[in-house]
Structure 1
Amino acid sequence: MNVSALEWGITLSVTIAILLFDVVVIGRRPHEPSKRETGIALTVYIGLAVAFGLWTLFFHGHQYGVEFFAGWLTEYSLSVDNLFIFLIIMASFKVPRVYQQQALLVGIILALIFRGIFIALGAVAIEQFSWVFYIFGAFLVYTALKLVRDSDHDDDGDNAVVRFAQKRLKFTDNWDGVKLWVKENGSRLMTPMFLVIVALGTTDLIFALDSIPAIYGLTQEPYLVFTANVFALMGLRQLYFLLGDMLKRLVYLSQGLAFVLAFIGVKLLLHALHENEVPFINGGEPVAVPEIPTLLSLGVIVVTLFITTVASLYKTRVHDVRKNDEEPESADPAPDPQTDSTR
């Protein structure tokens, strides 16, 4: 894929401008966005991603357009799962809803920074070491198995880094807007928001480790890897408030993502065998194995996410109906003695 310096510059300028607009204009004051505000923002962000994918398809070729859409859908799905963990973190720290918007904004910016670092490292590793695809593939299969095992999302949002901070730093129980620390009686105390940001940041770091091998399993073009990740992160803050409890209804999301990651992991392993240079595998010669085309990968991702969403909504709907049916009916009113005496 031939991407000029001018195209890179325009892409970086536009994406940075959009993020700055989100930070300076939309998120300039703590508030809970309305459904109209979130709906408009999401429509714009998703429209931009689709428009960019179509532009890539027409100006860079069908193959690269398909790679972008496959990567964007995969990264968006992983970001939604990340968003579910954000919900757990907000609930566990009892973050006032009016401050959740800016906390989410910080979490998304951290996610973008971490993914940018890993995109660069991944590009260098692929350029220098072809065997890195074995590691990426095995890591994705491991991640898929871990997702299935931990699909109940029973984590309370706490982690080792948060526990370390709680033990080593002094904290106040009082919220002071989005400030990370305050001064009380001459001492600097960390606010609960500090722990929230730490929890969001470490979660972003873990998800970046998962998402970058996944996207490199669909395209090896750094430009597409970067843009797919940027567009996948746009609008997540609005999606958080728009969907709310709806996210909790996607009970099969982790299983669906596990299947997608396992599929991409197998795709990477097949690609590694096809390009093999490891001396102890087939004498360092390529192995004659079939490779999975990106168009097939896109189809598998779309079908899996569709089935996952439909099955999740059906299960939660059936569960709600059964729960309502099992609730005891209100007791019958006591008989009227006067009426009863006339019988």
Structure 2
Amino acid sequence: MNALQALFTDPFLGTPTWFWLAFIACVLALLVFDLGVLHRDQHEIEMRESLLLYSGYFSAGLLFGGWIWGELGASKALEFYTGFLVEQSLSMDNVFVMAMILGFFGIPRRYQHRVLFWGILGVIALRAIMIGLGTVLVQRFDWVLYVFAAFLLLTGIKMLFGRKVERPDLAQNPGLTFLRRHIRVTDELHGGRFFVRLRDPASGQLQRYATPLLLALVLIELADLVFAVDSVPAVFAITQDPFIVYTSNIFAILGLRALYFALAALMHRFIYLKYALALVLIFIGGKIFLHGFMGKIPAAVSLGVTFCLLASGVLLSLLKTRNKLL
């Protein structure tokens, strides 16, 4: 009994193991309810359903932060909420890329949720690896945090003054080219299936083929890796607690994927969000360098500044584009 109790109470990456297990159980319950109950039948998700689904995931994130508040204290909870907000905001650009990828492969709206849902499982694993590596680096080499901060400052300045980035040519994407060279791929969709068995034209034997649905899933996962280069250092600049970094990342991504169907139709209106995000990155990166002069900025201040900057960007954008059609 003592050994079993120790298994749950002993710390893993600085946090009791049962905290991690509770988080995993919560995420699995949400995913099972999403796929097994709400989307058991594949259908086209409209804006209303997307907003309702997002509100459910967002509420789950808020409740989880409240649980952290009760168990680990207000400071940890505020760090969670700040990371949660920053990750959701930084990942919004990913919506453009996801929409472009799904459009490139001609994935009908009724199958898009399937791609995004299974993509979440890949994100959970990939973010765990990246955050684990980041934790080891920060704990062993203090100067790595300043590298993260400098990267955020430069990224924020580039976003603030940089030119508009051109749409990438997906047909020439190296990942897509590699997949087409090394696996059999059909030219057409086969419902919501990632793999099908078809007869090879040369041999006449049944062979396994990937469908465009799988290629879209892989490219979305690769895109998330690229966007994680910005978002993971940003959350590490807020807190170095791997439990807070990881849980805030995952809850934010769960909500964003649910919001995709509504957000993809509205992103053209958020014309000032880029500049708000740039200021958030500059603020987060700058406070690391100011730590030695001013001491640690309270978590409540970080959350308040982040929220005000992002809310201002969204409100100004909506006011500026209020006459535009949705």
Query: TM-score, normalised to structure 1's length?
Result: 0.79
Picking from 265, 273, 280, the partner of 1:245 is: 265
> Structure 1 vs Structure 2: percent identity of aligned residues?
37
Q: CA RMSD in A?
A: 2.7
232, 235, 238: which one pairs with 1:215? Answer: 235
Partner of 2:42: 30
| Amino acid across the alignment from 2:167 | D
Deviations 1:184-205 (A, max 9, x none): 4345544222321221011011
Structure 1 residue matching 2:321: 3-state secondary structure: helix
Alignment of 1:156-235 (within 5 A): 156-157=169-170, 159-167=173-181, 169-182=183-196, 183-185=198-200, 186=205, 188-235=208-255
Compute the displacement of 1:224 (Å): 1.1
Contact residue 126 and residue 132 of structure 1 kept, 8 A: yes
In the alignment, is residue 46 of structure 1 matched against residue 61 of structure 2?
Answer: no
Runs of 4+ in 1 over 6 A off after TM superposition: none
- Paired residues, number: 306
Aligned to 1:311: 316
Aligned to 2:302: 297
Q: Which amino acid aligns with 1:300?
A: V
Q: For 1:40-119, what aligned pairs fall within 5 Å after superposition?
A: 40-119=52-131
Structure 1 residue 211: deviation in Å? Answer: 1.3
* Gap regions ≥5 residues in structure 1: 275-287, 321-343
- What secondary structure, in the 3-state scheme, does the structure 2 residue paired with 1:235 have? helix
- Provide the secondary structure at the position in 2 that maps to 1:317: coil
Q: Which of structures 1 and 2 has the larger relative contact order (alpha carbons within 8 angstroms, sep 6+)?
A: 2
Question: For the residues of structure 2 that align with 1:194 and 1:43, how far apart are their CA atoms?
Answer: 28
In the superposition, the TM-score normalised over structure 2's length comes to 0.83
2:18 is aligned with 1:6:
yes
Are positions 1:265 and 2:270 aligned together? no
Query: What's the offset of the Cα at 1:218?
Result: 0.8
Decide whether the 8 Å contact of 2:96 with 2:264 is kept in 1. no
Contact 2:95 / 2:263 at 8 angstroms: preserved in 1? no
CA distance in 1, matches of 2:307, 2:276: 11
Larger radius of gyration, structure 1 or 2? 1
CA separation of 1:226 and 1:266: change in aligned 2, threshold 3 A = same
Distance 1:198 1:146, change over 3 A: farther
Amino acid at match of 1:171: V
- 1:277 is aligned to none
User: Which digits, 9 at most, give the CA deviation of each residue in 1:224-249, with x for residues without a partner?
Assistant: 11221121022333311234411222
- Residues 102 and 216 in structure 2, CA contact (< 8 A), matched pair in contact too: yes
> Residues 311-330 of structure 1 correspond to what in structure 2 (within 5 A)?
311-318=316-323
Question: Paired residue for 1:134?
Answer: 146
In the alignment, structure 2 segments of 5+ residues that lack a partner are 1-10
Structure 2: distance between partners of 1:223 and 1:97: 35
Cα displacement string for residues 67-106 of structure 1 (whole angstroms, at most 9, x for unaligned residues): 1111110011123222232112222222111111111112
